[in-house]
Structure formats: C-alpha cells, structure tokens
Amino acid sequence: MNVIHLSAECYPVAKVGGLGDVVSALPKYQQLAGIYASVVMPYYDRKFVQENEFDVILESEFVMAGITLPFQVLKEKTDKLGFALHLIKIPGLLDRPEIYSYPDETEQFVAFQLAFLEWLTYFSIRPDVIHCHDHHTGLVPFLIKHSTRYNQFADIPTVLTIHNAQYQGWIGWEKFNYLPDVEPDKTGLLEWNDCINPLATAVKNCWAYTAVSPTYLKELTWNSNGLEPLFQAEQGKGLGIINGIDTEVWNPETDPMIRVNFSVETVATQKKENKKLITEEFGLKADKPLIAFIGRLVGEKGADLLPKAITEILTAYKDQVNILILGSGEHHIEDELSGLKDTFSGQYSVFIGYNEALSHRIYAGADFLVMPSRVEPCGLNQLYSLRYGTIPIVRSTGGLKDTVIDHSQPDGYGICFLNADVEDIYSAFYRAIELYQNTERVNLLRKRMMQLDYSWHQSASQYIELYNSLKK
Ligand code: ADP
Ligand code: GLC
C-alpha cells in the first residue's frame, strides 16, 4: 500500500494550526503500521527547508492559464520525519515564506495541484491512494477524473480529509482557464453557488471523505458554511475519524521545550514547577488557578467572546484566578485582549503571535485550558492538554464533544459547557475556580486524563482500513 498525502501544511516544515500537526503525525504512524506513506507539499522558504538537505528529483513544467511554468520536486534526503517528504517548488509562487494570505493564493494552490499531477505522469509505479487534505488540494480528485490530460489516472482512489469546512478556497469562474482542458459536460462538478468551490469539488469527486471527528461528520450536514445540502447528499461516502496526537512530540516526560519534565506519577509536584516558571515569566500568581487559551484569535474559536468573559471573571474574582492567552488572528480581538493587560496586571497576560515553544510551556504549566469554540472539527489543543495534565474547559461541539467528558460524569475529567456565549464561559470559569480548591480531586483528574490514549495508532489504522476498502 502506497499513499500520498497532499497538503498545504506539515509540521515542522510549515504549520499554522492542527492541519500541520496531523499531516506530520498521520503518515508517520501509517509508516509504523506498515504501509508506505509520503507527503507532498508546497516549498516554503522557511527554517526547516533552509536547514535540511534535499535532492532535486524532477525538473519539469506545466501550463496554467496559457503560461508555461517550470517546477522542481525536491525530496528531503534522510526521511527524518519518519516518511518521505516532497516539496514542489515553483519560482514566484511556491518559494515564499508564508503559507497563506498572499493575494495570489488561488494561483499558488492551483499551481501546486497542477505541478503534482504533472509529476504523476513521471511515476513508474502508481500510488494506491491519493489522500487530499482540505480545499487547497481539492481540485485533484476532479482533475484526475475529468481533465483530458490527467484522466489517465482516474482509477487511483482519492480520499479527502476535511479538517475545516469553513474555508473552501472559492475561485471565480473567470479563472476557469487556470485549469487544464476538462470534459465539457463535467464542469458542473466544479461548481457550488456560482463559483468554483474546491472543497465542494473534492467532496463530489473523491472516492471517500473523512471528517476529523464523528460529531463533526454529522455537524457538516447542518453547519458547513453553505455546503449543508452537499454533505446531506454525499454522506454515504463520509466517515468520521478522530485525530490522534504525536505522542513522541507531545510527551511531558521527554518534551525538550518544557523546563521540568513530568509523568503521571510526578504530575502533582512537577507540574507545579512548570506553573511557577510560566507564572513568573508572565508576572502572574503561582498560588492561584491558571487558565490558558492557545489558538487562532478568530470567531470560529470563540476568541471574540474572551475579552468580555475575562473582564467579568477577573472583576468578580479579583486576585483569585490568573488568565494567560497565546494567539494571533483578527486584529480587533488581538487589540481587545492586549488592552486588558493594564487593567488586570498581575492576574492576566497575553502573548500575541505564534510561538511553538511557548505553547508547550503553557500546556505544561497551566491548570486549565479553555476552548470556547463555535466550530471545532477536532481540536488538538484539548488532546495536548490531556496529555500534560491540564484540565480542558470546552464547549461541547465537534471533536471537543467526542474527546472531553465533564468531570461530573463517571470517569470524566474536563469542564464542558453548551453555548458559545459569555455567560456559559463565565460559569465554566467559576467551576474551574471551585474545582481548583479541591487539590485531591484535581490531582485525581490529572492522572486520569494523562492515562487516556489519544495516540495515532488507532486512527491511523482506521484510515488504512478505509484505503483497503477502496482498492478494487
Ligand atoms: P486549528 O487547526 O483550528 O487552529 P487545532 O486545535 O487543531 O486548531 O490545532 C491548533 C494547533 O496550533 C495546536 O498545535 C496549537 O498548539 C497550535 N497553536 C495555535 N495557535 C498557536 C500560537 N499562537 N502559538 C503556538 N501554537 C499555536
Ligand atoms: C482544523 C480544525 C481543527 C482540527 C485541525 C486538524 O484546522 O479547525 O479542529 O483539529 O484542523 O484536523
């Protein structure tokens, strides 16, 4: 079995969020499960690429919008990530530092997909499965079936994993000429609501799609940013597979990014040490509960609700609780969260930006991690928290619903709430402050959650079963 993962992100090469984590861990664990899995992603001018050695394995060209574009395929020499990593380099489009947000993002990702398909024409042995992740790779399942140049590969099964259906990669029809010639009666398969919609295209044309949690799979049929009727129609080929975590990278016993390593046996004492250090770093109080938020500061994550919820709880429980935020995103949310620093100095702090090492220190040092998400297809933060003995406070939606059980339930360990609103977040904060007073219970919950198994082993096998079911 030979599967190629196509993705815009893969940690540590390039990561903005959970997509990057998944596309580095899933192939690694699939390799461990005995199949050949590799990753193909765009070339980015970033640290990992600069610091590692690559072989150029192909130089060729393809045509986009009537223009011939040269490209290279590079392969990392040592498979150090646990799988073969390939980068596609296209001067001016796929050789820049950022992953997203260029004005020519459409050109960037269409070109990535066309170069990949062109590369496929050079393969001596065809892959058994092409596994596409999110809309950036969503045209491949269509082009491989219905473009006259690449439909020679129509019998290769394609799988789409939907990490987030909020983003769909919409392309105006005026850019239809970016695509190679397609069978004229099939152009409707590209369309959703008057534009080319790469995510919808992928759902229509893939052999099977997965959502990153069983609950999210269901939610897509009634909450998927306009694609609800499509998911209702296509649900027969959908499957919910919960994400795992890379337990080598996210292991409090060995994590080189945290200052005091700990295990389930030593969590009660050693976590306190990590908390002491992180509270010192941010001028907070080590003897009070520490609630953290890590993530993209966007509406999807409920981040816009935080400034008010934080203001209310820190006013009502002055000096009784600390809150620490790490994130970046919409500027007005960044500004509001930064603005609270002076008002609540000594019990609140915020780091605006992306900082991988700091995120590890916070998972290790915080008592609680809040995720008031409006939409959360899976969520990895709560899984990292569980592993680091940090009690998750989550809105029960998507993958959060599938992975966090309220501690009032038998075998529960988290704090769950129903609505993404200030009132529910406030009540959840209150429950956290109350719970923190009971040290014995907190320690029991920490041990309980640190022993949960959210490693990739099981989910990686579920994907392999899916691939096998698609083989003719
Ligand atoms: P999403 O992919 O929707 O952003 P996930 O919960 O799946 O959400 O994954 C988010 C990942 O990104 C986690 O690994 C989290 O630790 C990381 N992350 C998010 N924001 C930051 C940040 N500002 N600094 C460091 N890591 C971050
Ligand atoms: C997305 C989702 C997140 C999920 C991640 C990895 O970015 O927002 O919930 O965990 O992808 O699948």
Two tokens, residue 171: 């392309």
Is the pLDDT reported for residue 286 higher than 90? yes
Q: Enumerate residues lining ligand 1, CB below 6 A.
A: 17-19, 21, 294-296, 326-328, 354-356, 359, 378-381
Tens-place pLDDT, residues 137-168: 999 999 999 999 999 999 999 999 999 999 99
Residue 19 CA to ligand 1 center (angstroms) comes to 9
Residue nearest ligand 1's atom 21 by CA? 295
Beta bridge partners of 368: 291, 391
Given ligand 1 and candidates 294, 382, 386, which is best to mutate, with the most ligand atoms within 8 Å of its CB? 294
Domain 2-246+457-471 identical in fold to domain 267-453: yes
Ligand 2: atom nearest CA of 300 is 8
Two tokens, residue 205: 């044309």
Ligand 2: atom nearest CA of 380 is 10
Tens-place pLDDT, residues 18-73: 999 999 999 999 999 999 999 999 999 999 999 999 999 999 999 999 999 999 99
Widest CA span in the chain: 68
CB of 82 closer than 6 angstroms to any ligand 2 atom: no
Task: Tell me the domain boundaries of the chain.
Answer: 2-246+457-471, 267-453
Architecture of the domain whose range is 267-453:
3-Layer(aba) Sandwich (3.40)
Residue with tokens 């975590």: 245
CB of 378 closer than 6 angstroms to any ligand 2 atom: yes
Kindly report whether the peptide bond that precedes residue 12 is cis, defined as omega within 30 degrees of 0: yes
User: What is the per-residue pLDDT for 471?
Assistant: 81
Given ligand 2 and candidates 7, 162, 215, 243, which is best to mutate, with the most ligand atoms within 8 Å of its CB? 243
Beta bridge partners of 14: 10
Residue 100 CA to ligand 1 center (angstroms) comes to 15
Residue nearest ligand 2's atom 6 by CA? 18
Report yes or no: 97 and 44 within 8 Å, Cβ to Cβ: yes
Edge-to-edge order in the sheet of strand 415-417: 348-352, 322-329, 290-297, 368-371, 391-395, 415-417
Tens-place pLDDT, residues 228-258: 999 999 999 999 999 999 999 999 999 999 9
Tens-place pLDDT, residues 161-216: 999 999 999 999 999 999 999 999 999 999 999 999 999 999 999 999 999 999 99
Residue nearest ligand 1's atom 22 by CA? 354
Residue 16 CA to ligand 1 center (angstroms) comes to 7
The CA-based angle 247-54-57, given to 5 degrees, is 115
User: What is the per-residue pLDDT for 218?
Assistant: 98
Residue with tokens 């050949």: 36
CATH class of 2-246+457-471: alpha beta
Write down the pTM of the prediction: 0.96
Given ligand 1 and candidates 359, 382, 395, 459, which is best to mutate, with the most ligand atoms within 8 Å of its CB? 359
